Every structure is written in structure tokens, then in C-alpha cells.
Amino acid sequence: MGESFTIVNRTKGKLPRLPFERMKNEALGESYELELVFLGPKEMHKINLEHHKKDKPTNILSFPLSEKSGQIFICPSYAKKEAPDFDRTFTNYIAFLFIHGVIHLKGFDHGSTMENAERKIRTKFNV
């Protein structure tokens, strides 16, 4: 891993092997510093409550820290439950969520422009 990208696994589970760094570079550029953190539902619930005042866990949260750095939190156990609802495998859904998160870090809000930006990267990585 380059110093511009780190993965932290705070779960006991095994993480899917995905080209996270290449996806990050495609969306945000090589110089963007990103920390990707996998955590359990309790931690995710706490972060969601603290930052968004939502009293529940969620699948992904992204936080821009500066123009050139950010953090993405993904809750694998939550994503595993949701994946079938989107007709995706667990691994594919994690990739889908990660791409969604990096596009948010680019400054996009939900809508057709964001969906188009996501689709370009999903297509490139077969997600």
C-alpha cells in the first residue's frame, strides 16, 4: 500500500480482496490521502449518531478531512445483510459502497450527476 491509502480492519472478519487503492486513485487521484476503516455495527452506530444524529448503524460513512484527505467507514456485517436486497454479492456490494463513498469525498451529493460519476468507476472495475 502507498502512504496515501491505508486500510484498517476493526472487525474480526476477513475482508474482501478488492482493488480499493486503484478505485481510490481513479476517483480521487494518487495524492489524495484516504483511510478506509472496516468496523462493527456498534462502532458504526456510535459514529452515525455523533456525526449525523441518526440513532442506528449504517453501511457506509465518508468524511472529508481536507481537500486532499478523507476517511471512509464501512460496516461489513451491515453490508452483508443488505447485499441481497441489491442483487449483489457481499464482495461486489462492498466495492459498490466504497465507490459511493469516494464519489462523496469528491464533493458530490446524491443525484444523477453523482450516479453518473459512480457508474463510470463501477464500469471500469466491473462492479
Instruction: Indicate the domain borders of the chain.
Output: 5-124
Per DSSP, 15 falls in state: P
Tens digit of each residue's pLDDT (9 = 90 or more) over 3-25: 799 999 999 888 999 999 999 99
Tens digit of each residue's pLDDT (9 = 90 or more) over 38-73: 999 999 999 999 998 999 889 999 999 999 999 999
Assign 109 to helix, strand or coil: coil
Cα separation, 120 vs 18, in Å, equals: 17
Domain 5-124 classification at class level: alpha beta
Which of 86, 111, 78, 99 minimizes the C-alpha distance to 11?
A: 78
- pTM of the entire structure? 0.93
Is the distance from CB of 102 to CB of 27 less than 8 angstroms? yes
Q: What is the pLDDT of residue 2?
A: 47
